[in-house]
Amino acid sequence: VAIVGRPNVGKSTLMNRILGRREAIVEERPGVTRDRKEVEASWQGREFTLVDTGGWIAAGDSLDEKVSRQSERAMSEADVVLFVVDSTVGVTEDDARVAALLRGTDAPVIVVANKVDDRVHEASI
């Protein structure tokens, strides 16, 4: 199960919540996750590998490009993809580009609307 999306949408936080423990580094600033992190997980009796990825960016420096390629690799290898978006800012250009990449995969994609845990944002969804 690959967790993908643009930087700072909560991919690593979601991984930690699914696992029930802190495996992925989480900070307020974007770009903390650089490499894919693969962890064995269990959910409702099913065993699987959970893959946290760095944020996908359309354009950037060579490091951003390498991080984005790792995200694309995770998308192509996954049996299921969790596409995380930040509901407080709406769909961005990078979100739309990730969605376009995901249309080319055979894996089922689940869109995860993150950052809706306050009444202001929850009401607008």
Share above pLDDT 70 across residues of the chain, in percent, rounded to a whole number: 79
The CATH code of domain 2-123 reads: 3.40.50.300
Question: Which whole number is the average pLDDT over 29-33?
Answer: 54
* Tokens read off for 25: 């580094």
Q: How far from 55 is each of 42, 43, 123, CA to CA, in Å?
A: 24, 24, 27
pTM of the model: 0.81
Instruction: Please give the pLDDT value at position 1.
Output: 95
Residue spans of the domains in the chain: they are: 2-123
User: What does the alpha-carbon distance between residue 101 and residue 103 come to, in Å, rounded to a whole number?
Assistant: 5
